[in-house]
Each structure stands twice: as C-alpha cells, then as structure tokens.
Structure 1
Amino acid sequence: MQVPASERIGPPLLSFSRTLVIVGGGRVDFDILAGLVASGAHMVGADGGADLIAQAGVVPDAIIGDLDSLADPQGWARRTRVIHVAEQETTDFEKALYCTRAPVTVALGMTGGRFDHTLAALDAVLRHAHERALILVDEEDVALAATGPVRFTVGRGERISIHPLGPARFLGSEGLDYPLQGVELKPGGRTGTSNVATNGTFSIEPEPGAAPYLLILGQRNLMALIEMAGQSAK
C-alpha cells in the first residue's frame, strides 16, 4: 500500500503561482519545452530530467528526486535548489508531485521509452489527480487527468479518447460521435479510445464519485488545455 505523501515528508515544499512543468528523463520534445518556457511556466527536474532542461538552455527552479541519475549533483546545487528525497517507495515523478503545488502541472519525459516508467507515471497520476490538475505529454498526444465535467473545443472530426484510470460511469456527453450517457468505462473493461468530436465543441460529465479519467487529445491542444485546466482549478 502506498504511504500517503503527508506521512512521508509533510506538506509540499514548493508552491508555484503559474504552470509547473516537471521534466523526467524520458523522451522530451524540445520545441514543446521551449514553448512552455516562453509562456512563463516554472520548471522542475525530476532527478535526471534536470539535465534535459539544461539542454534547452534553462536552469530549472528546482531538482527533486533520489538523485541517482542526475549528472553532477554538487554542481547543480550551486545553480538551483536541489531537494534530495531518499525514499524508494515512489518514482522521481511522484516525489516531484508531492513536493510541489501549482495551479496546473505538465509532465514531460514521463511516458514513452520504457513501458514500466509509463505505467508508473499513470499510477502516480491516479493517486494525485484529485488534488491537482495534471497533464501528461507524450510523442503524439496530451492527456488531462480529469476528475469532473469537461468542456473543450477541438477541430471538427478530431480524435478524442477517454481512458478510465478506475471505474467511471458517465451521466452524459455532448458533441461526441459515440455518446457516453449511462456508459461505464473501467480498466480491463470498456474504454473510450478514438471517439470523435462531431462539431468541435464537446462536453463530458461523469457521475459524482467516478474515478479519474484521461482526456487524450492531439499535442496541438496543449496550451488551450493548460488554460482550461487552470480556469477549472480556480
């Protein structure tokens, strides 16, 4: 059983007023990273992810992890805040999650590459989705971990996938080719891969108490998804 974050190290150590980007050691699109930096987002390296941030010419606001994959920790300590979290029950991504707070958190370099890292990232998202707005970015898509109703606009005919992280029954939806009214999605059962936006704007409403679900869209929707998630978090 996972030990609650509050029992591991107490309250979050770092609070950010703008979007937080946590960068891991997986595959990172440097154009996306540069765009997020230009938007004013804060940067935190999950252990060796800090070295990828440095490749983009940026010094992260902090580095968090067990520091087993970070090049030159002592050198980094002279440039930014380095938070060593020694426990081995969680990944560096989850350490960065429970050590921080932000209105919206974007995760880069947490999926793709190693399959076990991707699964661990999804487990961390499930555990933290109710307490913060989380968006995962991979090579093709972005995935918002949603815990309630969502209304969003994409291109007409654009692919929309809804993947449950636990049992989630839906009260209804609008603007989707395959309606969700009365539908239950759950891992190992029915999922919502490759639905379609019929007119661009769509909405999804889960039942109260439903498990978090991933709203998966094409990468080009990232900035608009961050804005929407930020508004919902207020």
Structure 2
Amino acid sequence: MQETSARPTDREIIRFERPMAIVGGGVVDPALLRELAERGVALVGADGGGDAIGAAGLVPELIVGDLDSLSDRAAWEARTRVIHIPEQISTDFQKALYSTEAPVTLALGMTGKRLDHTLAALSAVLEYAPQRRLVLVDEVDVALAVIGPIGFAAGAGERVSIHPLVPVSFRTSSGLRYRLDGLQLEPGGLLGTSNEGTGGQVEIVPMDGTPWLLILGKERLWDLVAA
C-alpha cells in the first residue's frame, strides 16, 4: 500500500516538442524502443523503465520516479538526467506524466507482468486524458485515450474496440459493424470489445467529453501518432 503524501507543487516540467515515450518496467519490445529512437521519439524511463531502455542499447533522455527499481542510480546519473521524486502517493508513471509535457505521449511497459500495475496505468490514463494525448502500447494493441468525437479509417473486419474507463454515452457512430448510437458503455455493464470496421471511414461521436479508450492493433501505432 502506498503512503499518503502531497505531490510536489514546485516541480520542474520537462517539455518536449516532439512525441515522447514513457517506458515502465512491464513488457517492452526492445526492437520497438529502437524504432522509436530512430524516428526521433524522446525516451523517458519511469524508474526501472530506464533499465529497459538501456537493455535495448539506448540511453533515455530522462529518468524520473522514486528510483526504488532503478538498477544503478549513480551510473545513470553519469549518463543522463535523473529526477528523484520520493513522494509515494502516485505511481512512477504518474510522476513521469506530471513532470513532462509533449504533443503526443506513448506509454510502454505499463501493462503485463503485474495486474495491479496495469490497473494503475489505466487509472493514470483516465486522470490525464483531458490534459494530453496518451497512447498505451503493449505487445498486441495500442489504446488511445479519446476525449470527444474521433474519425479514422478502418479496414473491413478490422478489430475496433471501444472501452469505457467510466460510464460514457455515445450520440452516433458510423463505419462500425455494431453501431453505438444512443448506447451507454460502462465497466461492469455494456462494453464495446471486438467491434469491427465495415471498411472506410469510422466516425464516433460521444455525448460529452468523458474519456474512453479506442483500442486498435499495434500495427496502427504510427497512424495514431501521425494523427
């Protein structure tokens, strides 16, 4: 259980003018990390995620967290910027989120290995979705936190899952096998898992700005980043 303490109010914000990837200690594909670096994405380690970046033969531009999982803090401090945030009310993912800004934020290694870490990552996405563009990346899927309407192209039969983080109602939809018109999706109730595109443009219009997740196959990662 985490101790209760206040988040620092005088914290420095590290700003990136290009896409950023926050890397945690869950399941991470080293080849994808190297591809991100080649495409100019800034790599930020959330505590032990710095070691995951190092294992891919890369050096993160920043490591941030309470540093209880980082293998060799002194060695990393000699190679890159390390920010120690000792408060225990938030996860290392949240620390990395409130310490940075970027036009698009990818999150890798926040799922897998431990279910509690996965659930905590979803909670962080719900908290920060109104403030920044967030994409969770795992071995199979990419999940974009959406506020308001969205439009994108999807192939016929392509899996398009709509997952409610909290109860969310939809006004209209098009381009989906199972329309969302007038439906309310909610955890513990009706879900939008394994919907499909009909081929062409998909349009989804919710009733308001409640956050929800658009989940597509991992091959759509760069489409979401470019969008």
Q: TM-score range by the shorter chain?
A: over 0.9
CA-based RMSD: 1.6
How far has the Cα of 1:115 moved from its partner? 0.4
Where does structure 2 lack aligned partners over 5 or more consecutive residues? none
What amino acid does structure 2 have at the position aligned with 1:179? R
How far has the Cα of 1:11 moved from its partner? 5.6
Residue in structure 2 matched with residue 40 of structure 1 by the alignment: 40
Q: Contact 2:145/2:211 (CA < 8 Å) preserved in 1?
A: yes
1:222 aligns with 2:215: no
The CA distance in 2 between the partners of 1:8 and 1:208, in whole Å, is: 32
Which shows bigger deviation, 176-185 or 150-159?
150-159
The CA distance in 1 between the partners of 2:28 and 2:219, in whole Å, is: 15
Residue in structure 2 matched with residue 231 of structure 1 by the alignment: none
What amino acid does structure 1 have at the position aligned with 2:225? I
How far has the Cα of 1:38 moved from its partner? 1.2
Using the size of structure 1 for normalisation, the TM-score is 0.92
What amino acid does structure 1 have at the position aligned with 2:86? A
The CA distance in 2 between the partners of 1:12 and 1:199, in whole Å, is: 46
**Closer, same or farther: CA 12–185 of 1 in aligned 2, 3 Å:** farther
Matched pairs, number: 224
What amino acid does structure 2 have at the position aligned with 1:124? A
Q: Contact 2:34/2:58 (CA < 8 Å) preserved in 1?
A: no
Residue in structure 2 matched with residue 118 of structure 1 by the alignment: 118
The CA distance in 2 between the partners of 1:9 and 1:43, in whole Å, is: 24
Residue in structure 2 matched with residue 96 of structure 1 by the alignment: 96
The CA distance in 2 between the partners of 1:91 and 1:65, in whole Å, is: 8
Using the size of structure 2 for normalisation, the TM-score is 0.95
Where does structure 1 lack aligned partners over 5 or more consecutive residues? 229-234
The CA distance in 1 between the partners of 2:135 and 2:22, in whole Å, is: 10
Segments of 4+ in structure 1 off by > 6 A?
none
SS of the equivalent of 2:97 reads: helix
How far has the Cα of 1:9 moved from its partner? 3.0
Residue in structure 2 matched with residue 21 of structure 1 by the alignment: 21
How far has the Cα of 1:8 moved from its partner? 3.0
What amino acid does structure 2 have at the position aligned with 1:15? R
Q: Contact 1:153/1:200 (CA < 8 Å) preserved in 2?
A: yes
Deviations 1:181-220 (A, max 9, x none): 11111111111001000013211111123x2101000000
